Structure 1
Amino acid sequence: MECDTLHAISPIDGRYWGKTQGLGTYFSEFALINYRLMVEVEYFAALCELGLPQLADFPQERMGELRALYLGFDDANARLVKAIEQQTNHDVKAVEYYLKERMDELGLGKWREFVHFGLTSQDINNTAFPSMLKAAVHALYYPHLQALLDRLLACAQDWAEIPMLGRTHGQPASPTRLGKEILVFASRIQVQLTLLQRIPISAKFGGATGNFNAHHVAYPEVDWPAFADHFVGVKLGLERSRVTTQIDNYDNLGAIFDAMRRINIILIDFCRDIWTYISLEYFRQAVIPGEVGSSAMPHKVNPIDFENAEGNLGVANALFAHLGEKLPISRLQRDLTDSTVIRNIGVPLAHTEMAFASILKGLGRISVNQEVIHADLERHWVVVAEGIQTILRREGVPDAYELLKDLTRRDVPPRQKEFEEFIAQLPVSAEVKRELRAITPFTYTGVKI
């Protein structure tokens, strides 16, 4: 029977299908078959352009009919390929046979033996999967990450003038600005996104062991590496790995997954910080009529969007880590372990996409609680001690650090009144005292970053 969202094993295809189905265009079994068919057809077209004598009489005006096979590929066509696979027990060979059968039906069977000519399955897989990934990241991943980045930058700007108590080791520290702390994450993401976008999306195309053995023995006069460079680079828009075994080296693919994992790590850090700020009541959470926060405690409004994002980012990173570690390793000229692993590249992207959406949703449900942030600063005048002792050092006051240490490490921390009394008895000029009195938890926020 057809799998539906109630019977799917994976939550991606079940509970979260409505949020992830866009990725099915790029990473489903249907998509994989379609991309393989695209590579087979375009490779045949490239051979026809090469000037091989056996293909000289192929009617070029009919090439559009072959391209229509993958451009108009539908579920019924995919089922035909799967039916062939039941006989071949080989998924790539099934695509080859399907294309040959369609060529027979189109009256183009004379040239059918140049389908998959000289190729190994990995010449198809290691161009199809990178093509799928390239299409997905440009259509979905990059735009959605950019939307999240833009939102963070907007929050950073909106909250740029809000002073906030800093915390290091969980304890009160030098004040900062709320907007600047959001900008930290936006800046980190931007750096890693730039690095990610610089990584080439590589593909392998070179025959059974990467040496064009079959191609060269059939047509030794052809510069097959140059042909492959043009086919992969110009026709498919990928970068060919020129020195390989039967499969791609996967080093660049691993680098892509590692870069995506680093971005996710930054977002996990962000989610945990926002979660903490919510628990400190620095942010108010919107109350949505009809929604339930707890099955037992009616009052609860939980930061579920940030928690959901953190969970999905963790799952994604576990898979990204395995992909990055496993794919570049293959015994001798090739083993099959990459085959089942690489089919999963859409899974961590799906969890990542869900996390992006959850973070954006969560940001839309919070508002700054400036009263609480202000009150927290008012309770912690001790954080100005750093600034005061630094000015005293500048003025040559002996043991400035120790003076402030004695003032601030008390059972009852000093507040504004105690600091004013302390400043009044200091052996410094009236001008310096005015400078010291101007330091408050609300003004001691450093330079604008």
Structure 2
Amino acid sequence: MSRRAAVAELAPEDLAATLQTERAAADVRRADELARTTAEAAHDRARANVSVQARLDEMERAEREAAAAANADLARMYRQALAAGERTRITAGLARSAEARALRLEKLRGLNLRVLVPVLIGFAAWSTTGVQAGGAQLMGVTNTAPMWWALWLLEPVLIGAVVWVIIARAQLAASGGRLAEGAERIAWGCLATSVVLNLVAGAASEGGVLAMVGAMLAHAIGPVGAAATAHLIGVVDSSVTAADPWTEQGRPVPGLADMDLRPPTRRTLGDVPESTPESVTDRPVTVWPVAPEGRALLPIVARPTAPEEVTQEAPESAPLTWPVPTEGRALLTLVARPAVPETAPRTGDDLPKEPVTRARRTTRPAARPNKGAKVPPVLKPAPDPSPRQLSDADLAERLAALVAAGDLAPDAPVRAVQTALGIGFVRAKRIAQTVSAPAANQADAA
């Protein structure tokens, strides 16, 4: 049967209810479809929003990272510039200080010697041949004579004396002294000798006047250059000595102690918290001993004091209390013992210790002539017989002797008899009965 036929057979009321139900179901389906579509659209928008927010967060993070990197670069550049500026400021301040000026002058003095002394030695080497030739010309010696060879040492000796005078003058000037004029005259005399000998060597050359003058000038280059170099060393050294690094145009040059050349620090004195020491009065007062609640403390009794150490006597009725009692606290009572009388005998550690003196052996005993020889058995003393080897009668006599001497009581136990005689328990009991039986009979007879 078809649905239309089934509907046609229904009553009008039932048909209306059925159609109403179908319309309601269709409305519910459409509403569900619309809700599903709306939810899917909202979900898509939410996902898109999340993606956009994620991209924005990533861009913001990248921006913060780039900004932090840029700030770090700027901070590094600032620190480098600040350090370079402080370094430049401190370096410039050090260079302007009086101590730096004095150090530069001392370096200039040493540099003057290190530069010009080799120049002086070079001119001396140039002048050595002329001095040797001039000396040989004046003395009329040839290369066969020893003096001709010795003349090669004349110029080094002269220049060595000049160099030593220059070095000594520099050292004296650095120490606040001054070289004597006689030493300088000797140096100039050495240079003059070198010049004269070189001129003599040049004058001995063959040729015309021009050739002789040219030879003399060529020979004079060495000694004149050495003299000029020595004079230049003296002039520079005098200039260094005359320089005053501590004043400039009548005003004192600031020293390192007067210049603020310390690098800046991050923390200053204001940033450091002041630490005040704890007051003694704020500390709690501790009283010893402290008696706990419901408990009794043991009394502390003072140690007896020798009579010679007692400086102050206290009445027996007045106990010594220490420390001062406080409110609500019970303290121990110190009871002093009576002083030891002088007539009381000393015992134990109170006895005076006397040093034990031993007699010192003055003579050494003579050695036996037969030392090391074996003693014959006949001459050896007979050993005491063992108690076990003695008879009961001998042991009874020993026991009776011990009782008579008072070393052993007549009614001593068997253990005492055993120990005294050094025998077994059974035998000691028998010996004791043997000795005690006659004594008991004598007592009964009496």
Higher Rg of the two aligned structures: 2
> What TM-score comes out, normalization by structure 1 length?
0.26
Bigger RCO of structures 1 and 2 (CA < 8 A, at least 6 apart): 1
Structure 2 length-normalised TM = 0.26
